[in-house]
Structure formats: C-alpha cells, structure tokens
Chains A and B, each alone.
Chain A
Amino acid sequence: MVAARMFDRFDEARIIGVAGLETMIGELGARGHAVVGPVRRDGAIVLEPIESVVDLPRGWVDEQTPGRYRLKRDGDSWFAPVVGPQSWKQFLHPPRQKLWTVRKSDAGATIEPEPLATEKYAFIGVRACEIAAIAVQDRVFMQGPYVDPNYAARRANAFIVAVNCSRAASTCFCPSMKTGPRATAGYDLALTELSGGDDARFLIEIGSAAGQSLVEALPTHPATKADIEAAAAIVAATEASISRTIDTGDLPELLKAEPDHPRWDDVAARCLNCANCTMACPTCFCTTVVDESALDGASASRSQRWDSCFTGDFSHVHGGAVRQTPKARYRQWMTHKLSTWHDQFAMSGCVGCGRCIVWCPVGIDITEEAAALRRAV
C-alpha cells in the first residue's frame, strides 16, 4: 500500500487534538525549550515565541505569487499558511551575534569569547522544505573542516515539530527539489492536520527518542488505518497541486558552462541587487564581521552579521570588487544555489521553498530563470 509505505512509522502514529497541542506547547516549555511557532504579524506569518495554540494563525491562509504575499481569512485550519518571510535560520544562525570582546590594558590584551550559545528552542510548524534547509546549514556549519560551535550548540538543543503541508503556495516547488511536501526524517515529531476547527485532529508521527518521550506526556490515542490513509491523501493532494517545477537534470553543468548566456544580462536588467532573496532564503549562510571600539578605547568587540553576495562590498579586494556588475552578482547567487553548492557540499543549495520568488520586489523567479537559461541562445 502506498499509504503504508509513505507513513512508515505506522505502528507509532497517533492522533492528537487541540488540547493535546496546547499541552505539547506547555510541556516543551516545562522541558526548558523556548517554543517558537508561526504567528500573524503585520500582514505576514512570522516566527515568534508562542505560549499557546491561540497564538497560531488559525483560520488564515497565505496567497503567494512572484513579488507578492497576502494573508486572507479562509477555512478553519491551524497550520494553513506555508513558509513566510523568515526561516528557522533566524534562530539557529541569527542575523547578528557577538563573537568576542577584547579588553586592553597596559599589560596587554585579553580576549573574552562570548559564552557558548545556550538557547534551547522548540520549533513548531517546520515544513519539509525547511527541514531540508536545516540539513543544508548543518552540512555547512557542522560537517566541514571547521565547526561553528554556536550553531552546533543551538542545533543540538533544538526540538523540531514538523507539519506536513496540507496546501501549497503557487511559488512552492519542493517536489522538484525532492524535499517535500512531506517530512520524512529530521524531525522529533511530525504533524498532519487531518481536520481543522475546535475539534481539529492531527496525525502525530514520532521521529526521535525525545519525540517519543514528549508524546508519552501528551493526551493522544492510536491512529487508525483510515487516519493514516487520510494523512497520506492530504499530502498527496498537496503535491498534486504544485505546478511550479525546475528541471534540475543537468542544471549544475549547464549553469557552469554558460557564464555568458544573454539571459544573465536580461535578469540583471530587472534585479535591484536588494539582497532580499538572500535574507529570505533558508540556506543562504554568508556572514561578515564588524568590529566596534568602546568609546573609552579600553575594549573592542567583534560581531558577525548576515551578509549577501548582492552587495558591492561582498567581493571587495584591494583594487575593487571582483563582482562589479549586477549580472555577476545574480549569476553568482543562482549558480551557487543550483550548481556549485553540489561541488562544495554534495547537495543542492535550493530546497524549493519559493521565498526568493515571493520576496523579490520585482518578482524574479529562480525556476523561470533556470528554464530560460536552458533555452538555446
């Protein structure tokens, strides 16, 4: 059976209701986690601390198209809106973090590293593509010759509650990237919303020992075969609704072979070099450092900040930026995502979440650009 094969942890799947979710949020807090989930703020779904199911964007859906994002009331689901402007990198790889402080005295200088990150998050509502994006950043920050110890610490402490997508945005293309819409690994617990409203029912699957332990503390009952099939059907319907695609076939080779394709000039004429795509992208990891001196001159500190390959300073060397033109910068970004990332990390740098398409002020669409680059010159 397809359903049984998809939902492989058949025996362990259980059903949880809204009261159970409320207990889950409380219990995660009691276990020392800062619980973060989707919250509606300023017309978008953002990721913020939540204390209760009341904070969830129940009854709202998102409409996402290139360059456009809108929320509207529709239905009575708890987890209808898919990915928003932020991603979980906001927490695991924060936009700004202090690295160390140096104190100077007549005797010399002493460096005080920032204490190792202690944040212990629980993320509620992590989509399959976002689990894939976290795996990409794990690879960058934890599996190379040098490890980012703060990322590794936050990552080790994080508890992940995935939500399988019951609908998709027009900009989603996770099936092309083989990252969704169903979370198959990389979570502690995974929810599928079988029905919404006050008596909402969620299928809950267990992905780790920590997940198992939490479920034991929650009011749940075993899922039936029908529940499991219903969950599979929901995700299958979501997948069937996704029409945006990217043909990844020989794309890595093609992008490298075509640095002078006229399409790069075409996209450069539209791109504002605003860096929105890199800020929104859940896998973009680049950073810069900023040094600051205290006014008394006795101490100084260094902080790390997100950076973007769309800025002029990014490739600065003595004599000027290596990538002077918007064309070179867009080409670097897209070629990195879809081609050279494979060389560097043996995986794609794009997980198909569609954020860069939605949050681009001029609606530049990475799938459309890839298709255009395929067309003969």
Chain B
Amino acid sequence: MFDLRDPMVPAVARVIRSRHETADVWTLDLELVDAVWPGFSPGQFNMLSVFGVGEAPISFSGEPTDNAHIVHTVRAVGPVSKALCHLKVGDTVGVRGPFGNAWPMDHARGRDVIVVAGGLGLAPVRPVLYRLMADRRSHGRVTLLYGARNPGEILYRHEIEKWRTRLDIDVEVTVDHATADWRGHVGVVTKLIGRARFDPADAVAIVCGPEVMMRFAAKALADSGIPEKEIYLSMERNMKCGIGLCGHCQLGPLFICRDGPVFTQDRLRTLMATKEL
C-alpha cells in the first residue's frame, strides 16, 4: 500500500502492538489508518518510515493469512531501525509496499523443504514456516535449521519450542557461543545441514541470514546434492526506493528490490564470490 499517485509516498499506519523479542530486537504489529492492506507473500518487504528520521526495507515476519495486521521484526542497528524499535503503541509510521518477489511456496509443494536461518534471518522465513505448518500434508519432510550467536539471541524462542514438540517437522537450533544452561548444538548452522534428512533430488532449500552465512549454507546444501537452482537466498543491499528507481541495491546485473530479494544460488554464486560487487 502506498499513495496510488506516487509509489514514493507512504500510507500511514499505527502501531497496535510492540513486543520486545531479544536485547535489540522488537516485533511491531501495524494497522493501516486509512487504507486497506492488500496482504503480502512470504519473502516480500515493506519500506517503513519513521517520520523525520528516514526509511528502511523491512521484511514481513507475520502470519501471511492475517490481513488485519502488518507484522515486522526489527533489529535496532542504526537511526531508522532504532527509531522503529522505540515506537510505542499508538505511534504512526509510514508504510510503502509490499515490494519484491517471494519465497517459492507453490514450487515447494510436494517436495522436501529445508529452511536454514541465521540470526535475524529467522524473521523473513517465519511466514514460510507458518505456511508450511498450515499446509503440512502438501509437503515432504520439513526441516528448520536455526543458528543464533548465543542462547539469549534466539528469536521467537517460545514458538521454536512449540515447533520442536511437533512430530511432523525437524527443528534444530545451534548457537555459536553456549552459556552454562545451553543443552543444544554449539557451532555454525551450516554444520547441521549434513545431518538433516531430505531427498536432495526432490528438495527446496530456503536460506536467510547474514551474507557470509548464506554463502556457506548454499555451498553445504549444494554439496549435499541439492541443485543450485533449488537453493533460494534472500539478499540484502542498501535501498532508498524499493521499486527499482534509486539504483542503490544493484548486485551486478540485478536490482535486489526489483528482481529479488529472493534469488536462486545458480544466479548468485559468481556474484557473491566477487568481492565488493
């Protein structure tokens, strides 16, 4: 949703709920003030504005069938994201979107699905997990591999604990640095890929996290036999418009906002391997 006369002009939304997730991460539920939210597809993003501060691309992290709430999970790293995290219920924000392409939900039907997320990368794939679980019988084996820096940074911890009790999906969580009370895996998330159960000839991989992590994960998934065109990654670059007009998000021939943010590894491999592209 944006001003129909100009896609650079946001619609106004109000914060109806704010949840403190981990030390520097908040989840906001937004509601448009004067417009009807058209819904989103998992993988897409909004450009969120804090008035007088600026704008940043933020993925959808909520339930894709819920059109009443626009849900975003934000890490406070810079001016805009900090201001977003400090918003209180009732505050207004600007919303432009939904923009970008989506995770391959239809393509994933009937196949094994392996989701690999690192850090805040769990937020943009949470809508994927909601979809998979709502439509569980349409898929083969479903696996979530999640890595966080330490147990305190595990996002959506209660939900992960709930998912882990399900018998129809495999959920594995690892941390880089364990604390005394941590009983799970320790080490990088890519190490879990070798142990995951999926049929590489009939699997789709969905990967989201820091770029280095995605590079290693994509390689490990390819090494395990999944074709590169079945490995999907969500890329992050600087964005000032979200609609292919500002030039900031280029990665070689690609505009991340217009052609992505979701791309298959066969298109990304050489681009990601080129330093400072």
Which A residues lie at the B interface, using CB under 8 A?
A: 99-100, 102, 104, 108-111, 113, 116, 140-141, 144-150, 256, 259, 285-289, 291-293, 297, 300, 302, 304, 307, 309, 314-318, 322-325, 327-328, 332, 335-336, 340, 343-344
Query: Which of A116, A150, A291, A314 is the most central at the interface, judged by chain B CB atoms within 10 Å of its CB?
Result: A291
Once the chains bind, are B245 and A113 in contact (CB under 8 Å)? no
B23 contacts A by Cβ under 8 Å: no
Query: Counting CB contacts under 8 A, is B204 at the interface?
Result: no
Bound CA–CA A108/B252 (angstroms): 42
Partner of B53, one of A287, A291, A297, A314: A291
Among candidates A144, A314, A332, residue contacting B238 with C-beta atoms closer than 8 Å: A314
Let me know if A110 and B12 touch, CB within 8 A: yes
Is the beta-carbon distance between A304 and B8 smaller than 8 angstroms? yes
On whether the beta carbons of A113 and B9 are closer than 8 Å, the reply is yes
Contact of B52 among A141, A286, A293 (CB under 8 A): A293
Alpha-carbon distance A239/B150, docked complex (angstroms): 67
Whether the pair B240, A289 counts as a contact (CB closer than 8 A) is yes
**Contact flags B71-98 to A (C-beta < 8 A → 1, else 0):** 0000001100000000000001010000
Q: Which residues of A contact B51 (CB under 8 A)?
A: 102, 104, 109, 291, 293, 300
B12, A99: Cβ atoms under 8 Å? no
Which residues of the partner chain B approach A291 to less than 8 Å between Cβ atoms? 49, 51-55
A339 to B71, CA, bound (A): 39
Tell whether A145 pairs with B33 under 8 Å between CB atoms, given A99-B9, A109-B51, A111-B12: no
**In the assembled complex, which residues on chain A have CB atoms less than 8 Å from the CB atom of B241?**
287, 289
B24 → chain A closest CB, angstroms: 11
Of the candidates B10, B52, B77, B275, the one whose C-beta lies within 8 Å of that of A318 is B77
Sort A-B residue pairs by CB-CB distance and give the 7 closest, nearest first: A286-B247, A343-B253, A293-B52, A328-B276, A300-B52, A146-B243, A109-B92
| Shortest distance between the CB of A109 and any CB in chain B (Å) | 4
Contact A322 B12 (CB under 8 A): no
Name the B residues within 8 Å of A140 (CB-CB). 245
Known: A111-B94, A256-B252, A288-B240. 15 other contacts (CB 8 A): A99-B9, A102-B94, A104-B92, A111-B10, A144-B258, A149-B6, A285-B245, A287-B246, A289-B55, A289-B241, A307-B247, A314-B238, A317-B238, A322-B276, A322-B277
Is the pair B244, A108 in contact by a Cβ cutoff of 8 Å? no
- Residues on A with C-beta less than 8 A from B94 are 102, 111
Q: Is the CB of A340 within 8 A of B250?
A: yes
Chain B residue numbers with a CB within 8 Å of A145 are: 243-244, 258
A99-B238 in contact given A145-B243, A286-B247, A332-B250 (Cβ < 8 Å):
no
Q: How far is the CB of B242 from chain A (nearest CB, A)?
A: 9
**What residues of B have a CB within 8 angstroms of the CB of A147 in the complex?**
7
Q: Which of B8, B55, B237 touches A315 (beta carbons < 8 Å)?
A: B237
For B247, give its contact among A100, A109, A285, A293 (CB under 8 Å).
A285
CA distance A344 to B258 in the complex (A): 10
Q: For residue B6, which residues in chain A have a CB less than 8 angstroms away from its CB?
A: 99-100, 113, 116, 149-150
Chain A minimum-CB-distance residue to B79: A291
- B3 contacts the other chain (Cβ, under 8 Å)? yes
In the complex, A109 Cα to B14 Cα: how many Å?
Answer: 9
Bound complex: CA of A315 vs CA of B240, how far in Å? 10
Task: Check A322–B245 contact: CB distance below 8 A.
Answer: no
Minimum distance in angstroms from B57 CB to a CB of chain A: 10
Q: Is the CB of A287 within 8 A of B245?
A: yes
B202 at the interface (CB under 8 A from A): no
Check B276–A149 contact: CB distance below 8 A: no
List of A residues within 8 angstroms of B92 by Cβ:
104, 108-109
Q: Which of A108, A113, A141, A317 contacts B5 (CB 8 A)?
A: A113
Q: Please tell me if the beta carbons of B246 and A286 are within 8 angstroms of each other in the complex.
A: yes
B165 at the interface (CB under 8 A from A): no
Q: List 23 A-B contacts (CB under 8 A).
A: A100-B3, A108-B14, A108-B33, A111-B10, A111-B11, A113-B5, A113-B6, A116-B6, A144-B243, A146-B7, A286-B247, A288-B240, A289-B55, A300-B51, A300-B52, A314-B248, A322-B276, A322-B277, A328-B276, A332-B277, A336-B250, A343-B252, A344-B255
Q: How far is the CB of B38 from chain A (nearest CB, A)?
A: 15
Q: Are A108 and B12 in contact (CB under 8 A)?
A: yes
The smallest C-beta distance from A261 to any residue of chain B, in angstroms, reads 12
Please report the C-alpha to C-alpha distance between residue A136 and residue B53 in the assembled complex, in whole angstroms.
33
Cα-based distance from A99 to B244 in the complex (angstroms) = 17
Q: Can you list, as one digit per residue, whether each of B50-72 has a CB less than 8 Å from chain A (1) or not (0)? A: 01111100000000000000000
Closest to A336 in B: B250
For A252, the closest partner residue in chain B by CB is B253
Q: Which residues on B sit within 8 Å (CB–CB) of A286?
A: 246-248
Given contact pairs A300-B52, A315-B237, A288 touches B248 in the complex (Cβ within 8 A): yes
Chain A residues near B243 (CB, 8 Å)? 144-146
For B78, what are the chain A residues with a Cβ–Cβ distance below 8 Å?
A: 318
- Report chain A residues within 8 Å CB of B172: none
Is residue B236 within 8 Å, beta carbon to beta carbon, of the partner chain? yes
How far, in angstroms, from A303 to B9 measured CA to CA in the complex?
11
B274 within 8 A of A: yes
Q: How far is the CA of A108 from the CA of B91 in the complex (A)?
A: 8
> When the two chains form their complex, are residues A111 and B3 in contact, meaning their CB atoms are under 8 A apart?
yes
CA distance A108 to B30 in the complex (A): 14
CA distance A304 to B9 in the complex (A): 12
Contacts of A113 in B (CB 8 A): 3, 5-6, 9
With A and B bound together, what is the CA distance between A318 and B58 in angstroms?
A: 13
What residues of B have a CB within 8 angstroms of the CB of A141 in the complex?
A: 245
Task: Give the residues in chain B near A259, CB-CB below 8 Å.
Answer: 274-275, 277
A110 to B9, CA, bound (A): 11
Determine how close the nearest CB of chain A comes to the CB of B28; give it in whole angstroms.
16
**Given A108-B92, A315-B238, A318-B77: A146 and B55 interface contact (C-beta under 8 Å):** no
| Contact residues in B for A309 (Cβ distance below 8 Å) | 247
Rounded to whole angstroms, the CA-CA distance of A193 and B201 in the bound complex is 69
Closest-CB distance, B55 to chain A (whole angstroms): 7
